[in-house]
Amino acid sequence: MTYQSFLKKRSILYDISPIGVGSAEVESITSYLIRLSYEHNLSVGQIVSKVLAPLMKKNSLLRSSREGGNRFYDGAKTLNGYMEYSVDLVNTIESATGRGNLGILTLQKWKEVIPLRELLDESLSWCPYCLRESSESQQTIYYPMIWNFKIITTCVHHQCELLKVCVNCNNKIPILHRHSIIGLCPNCGSKLDQFCSPIGGNREQDSWQSFVLKEIGELLAFDSLNDDKPIRNNIVSQLTQINDDEFSGNITSFSKAIKTPNSTIRSWISGDAIPTLESQLRICYALNISLIDFLLNRSLRVRMNSPITFKKDSNIGKVKKFDRELAEKKLNEYLTGNEIISMTQIAIEIGFNKRVLYRNFPWLCRQLSKRYMDLISIQKEKRLQGLKGKVNFAVETLVKQGNYPSRRKVEGYLKLPGLLKEREIQEFWKKLITDKR
């Protein structure tokens, strides 16, 4: 091999391995980009503007890199999908790192059969328990693709509600931010593994959400299509067959079974429209069939009750009628009980809308909310004191060893990357540095 050919094979960026490939917890491309930036000691903004934008040759992105603007970051949810920007970004990262097949970190292979409408969340969702466990076991923390789906609201491992706002600053977190670091809030720098609500424990997980988690997990883990091609006609064929075989061609009966208007089902069967992922899951849930079998036009073994209905404990169906006496009793039980959880979680557990509860019982709701926020404050203070003790120990140890306790050395010693990005911890570290001089 000549020296010139060797140089051509060198990549611009380090080749880091994506996490969870072939499993339900495969990493998203936006998570991979954030980790890639951190490995190069660059911010996401720097790696996008200085490396990826020039390679992508997108005028709008180049202009945004020069003049500022958040268009690329505001629309970052689509990067995990399959639109043009997503394909271009994947191809560019592949070219820059020398690693192929990064399209598996997006939904590119399901483009023909899963519409983007109402598919992906606008902001980040995460499980604090998953982040904490990965950090404590010294595993690489990342954001799985499954956390990006709007329809996913709980963690498959911990049966707890996925968080959508930072516990510290109460702000939503963008899918991608110029200063994104995995596990940290880019708004305030605090860690995202702070526990906001207890694990579900004995509370049985909702059967609909359990079904959704299982089916989407299998969808993401499906790594080899072979001769099966997910094409639009598959859905038309399956729906036509289901309507003919199970409902004798009667669209009205089909409509009642899956609680969907006749006109909508007609548009699906005619091929004029594709059902959203949620609609596809509703069909599969009602008929008790596999989503992958449905999408790949495989033979279906329908196992249904007569008449077909959604399970009673499903989230789908009529809104629970408000029972004022029952709601007040439940709120008082939470107020006097040992369990302390958020008003959002209380509303979910007792099955009434949170706004309705606040409107009818403002004092009780405010008391419950204050009780919860007081607990969060105590937990936050305990956590900060623990981290400050670790930072103090690291600084003293490094100084005794004759090393300057820089940010990276302290984080490296503690094996807590990004720790000193958190404002309170950073200020404490700076004060220690000043006192040591």
Cβ(409)–Cβ(416) under 8 Å? no
The string of pLDDT tens digits covering residues 207-223 is: 788 899 999 999 998 86
The string of pLDDT tens digits covering residues 89-109 is: 999 999 999 998 999 999 999
Model confidence at 305: pLDDT above 70? no
Q: Are residues 130 and 263 in the same domain?
A: no
Average pLDDT over residues 134-138: 84
Domain limits at 411?
326-436
Instruction: Look at 187-201, 349-363, 395-409, 417-431 and tell me which has the smallest mean pLDDT.
Output: 187-201
What phi and psi values does residue 316 have, to the nearest 5 degrees? -90, 130
Indicate the average pLDDT of the chain. Answer: 83
Burial of 360 (0-12, 13-18, 19+ CB in 10 A): middle
Instruction: Look at 127-141, 204-218, 224-238, 418-432 and tell me which has the smallest mean pLDDT.
Output: 224-238
The string of pLDDT tens digits covering residues 7-20 is: 446 789 988 999 99
Cβ(13)–Cβ(36) under 8 Å? yes
The string of pLDDT tens digits covering residues 324-377 is: 888 898 899 888 888 888 887 788 788 887 778 888 888 888 898 888 888 888
What phi and psi values does residue 417 have, to the nearest 5 degrees? -60, 135
Instruction: Look at 32-46, 146-160, 310-324 and tell me which has the smallest mean pLDDT.
Output: 310-324
DSSP 323-368: -HHHHHHHHHHHHHSS----HHHHHHHHTS-HHHHHHH-HHHHHHH
Q: Using the 3D structure, point to which of 292, 317, 342 is the last residue of a domain.
A: 317
Q: Using the 3D structure, point to which of 261, 287, 317 is the last residue of a domain.
A: 317
Distance CA 233, CA 237 (A): 6
Residue with tokens 């996913």, as numbered in its chain: 152
Distance CA 343, CA 366 (A): 9
What residues form DSSP beta bridges with 154?
Answer: 161
Q: What angle, 0 to 180 degrees and rounded to 10, lies between the N-to-C axes of helices 343-350 and 324-336? A: 130
Q: Are residues 181 and 76 in the same domain?
A: yes
Q: Which one has a higher pLDDT value, 304 or 20?
A: 20
| Number of structural domains in the chain | 3
Cβ(119)–Cβ(277) under 8 Å? yes
Distance CA 188, CA 384 (A): 14
Distance CA 281, CA 243 (A): 16
Confidence of residue 182 (pLDDT cuts 50, 70, 90): very high
Here the tokens at position 55 are: 């390679």
Model confidence at 33: pLDDT above 80? yes
Q: Are residues 30 and 127 in the same domain?
A: yes
Q: Are residues 175 and 197 in the same domain?
A: yes
